[in-house]
Amino acid sequence: MAFVAPPTVRLDLDYVRQQFPALAGDWTFFDNAGGSQVARPVGDRITDFLYGSNVQLGASYGVSQTATERVAAAHQGLATLINAPDPQTVVLGSSTSALFRILAHCLGQTLQPGDEVVVTNCDHEANISPWVDWQGLGITVKVWTLNPETLTLDLADLADLLTPRTRLVAVTHVSNVLGTINPIRAIADLAHHNGSLICVDGVAYAPHRRVDVQALDVDFYAFSLYKTYGPHQALLYGRRELLEALPGFNHYFITSVPYKFQPGNVNFELAYGSLGILDYLTALAAHHGGGLDGAVPEPPASDLTTSDLTTSDLTTQDPGTQLRQAFALIRDHETALGDRLLTYLRQHPAVAIIGCPDAHPDHRVPTISFVVAGRTSAAIPPRIDPHHIGIRYGDFYAVRLIEDLGLALQDGVVRVSMVHYNTLEECDRLIACLDAVLA
């Protein structure tokens, strides 16, 4: 059944699109899961750092002190973005793949032969292969596979895999192919009850919902900032006591967190630029406030939605509350986008949606994959390209999932990945193009 959210505060798309300079061109970007467009404050901060404080950190002279303060502010701002308890729990790196590799190298040194790790068959390879490589250390790898009927992960199946030797459960928050939201808090509770750690790939979740690592009770959580309206950088959250106890990846004499996991230090300008994500999201909430006073209600068990808000709720200056408000606006608009495309795809006789067929925001994000009977997936995006609409086909580094679904010979899936700066009009243009291509 189609799901359309009933927002009481609607996203001002004119305002939103003005914050993304790339949207002034003639391309429609529907490949956002591969990399989103960059919010204007991000570029402004990068330029400001390069032109005003591009020196090494830690010296006594004034410009170096400014640079040091700016990078520290980035860690603090990103901690606020994900509700981490302190900035030392935020490790920065070039990509989620690289950060998971670093974590696996360090965490692997604490394991013993015969220990076990659970991975899924629906993750991006970034959250599979680093743990599978532990087999060289004598670690047993178990695979938590999707239910083939529902294409979801069943908690009962995970419970059957866990043993007293299970040291880690690695799972994605949202599949970058299926778009399905996995119940991370329930998974974390099950893992912790067993005495296991949990590591979550949040790459396909973070652009669409507010990440709250404390509410999720995760041990490690990573995502790519360049898919979340920021620069080409990524962050890894880890519980401080775990990060402090792990062997480092940096020079032997560097023992402080997060620096011991950041060889060569971070990219200074990109770290400072990442603060622009927070700038944008808090400004988004403030823009929708109307200048009135008010207090935001506590969110329900699921994510806050704009139907829970009034105009006066969108005025608080607390960054955490503003982030929840911004993502409430994002969630409801994206639900309408997803519903528009999924409604069309459900009605097309040649199309099979790979993943949840409805747009309910508790079930999925608007990363939508499908295949077409009698067509390879590779044949479809090139027919859309001339209309200046960017979509994509392939396995999206979820090779194991595509193979298990029997879609490798079909060149994987066609994927349309939308975010909140996309419009219903853009979605309708894509539908019109698909209608012509699939006729």
The 10s digit of each residue's pLDDT in 373-391 is: 999 999 999 999 999 999 9
* Domain coordinates in residue numbering, the chain: 42-275
Instruction: Give dist(CA 168, CA 80) in Å, integer.
Output: 26
Q: What ranges make up the beta strands (E) of 265-372?
A: 351-353, 367-372
**3-state SS assignment for residue 351:** strand
pLDDT of residue 294: 32
pLDDT of residue 305: 52
What percentage of the chain exceeds 90 in pLDDT?
A: 91
| Reported pTM | 0.93
The 10s digit of each residue's pLDDT in 211-236 is: 999 999 999 999 999 999 999 999 99
pLDDT of residue 318: 86
For 282, residues 6+ apart whose C-beta sits below 8 A from its C-beta are: 319, 322, 323, 326
Indicate the helix (H) or strand (E) that contains 142.
strand 140-144
The 10s digit of each residue's pLDDT in 316-372 is: 578 999 999 999 999 999 999 999 999 999 999 999 999 999 999 999 999 999 999
Among 22-26, 269-273, 309-313, 434-438, the minimum mean pLDDT is found in 309-313
The answer to whether 370 and 345 are in contact (CB under 8 A) is yes
Type of residue at 429: R
Q: Residue 208's CB: how many other CB atoms inside 10 A? A: 28
- Six token digits for residue 221: 């959580």
pLDDT of residue 289: 87
- Bridge partners (DSSP) listed for residue 119: 143
Type of residue at 177: V
Fold for 42-275, please state it: Aspartate Aminotransferase; domain 2 (3.40.640)
Torsions phi, psi for 272 (to 5 deg): -65, -40
